[in-house]
Every structure is written in structure tokens, then in C-alpha cells.
Amino acid sequence: MIYRHLALARGLAEIIRKSEDLEMMSEPVLSIRCFRHVPRGIDREDPACDRYPEQLNRAITDALITTGCAYVSATELSGR
């Protein structure tokens, strides 16, 4: 079971890396993935553009927790 979960986590990391709308926030550790949704057109390098993705990701996290379809938690890394 553990190997299956680790394989799923590796697969998720690859999906995140290939996505134009997701950003890997830190390198994966075991089955933990830290990423955020950043819509196309948002300048990922401009700190002034971080407010919208921050609010959007909070809403996504809240919706996923409410529906119970996934276990997610929120964190802040490097001010993001």
C-alpha cells in the first residue's frame, strides 16, 4: 500500500510539472506535494501578482475540504 501511494505521489508531481496552470512550490518529499494553482497570464515572478492566486488557492482548498474528495492543507512557503 505504501509503495502504491508513493507511486501516485510521483505521478502527481509529474502532472504538476507538466501543467501550465500549476506550480511546484517545493521538491516532493515522500507523498507530500506542495503546489499551487496559478492561472495562465499571471506573472509568476511578479510579487504584486500573488494576491489573486493566493485567494484562489484558499478557495480551492476550502472547496476540496468541504466536499471531502481530497485531503489538502494550506501552507506558506517563501511568502507565497
**pLDDT tens-digit map of 14-63:** 888 998 888 888 877 777 777 888 888 888 777 777 777 888 888 888 88
Cβ-based neighbour number of residue 51 at 10 Å: 9
Q: Is residue 80 part of a domain?
A: no
Q: Is residue 6 part of a domain?
A: yes
Q: Is residue 72 part of a domain?
A: no
**C-alpha cell read off for 42:** 499571471
pTM of the model: 0.60
What is the total count of domains within the chain?
1
Of 39, 47, 41, 42, residue with least CA distance to 80: 47
Q: Is residue 25 part of a domain?
A: yes
How many DSSP H helices and E strands does the chain contain? Answer: 2, 2
The whole domain housing 54 covers: 2-67
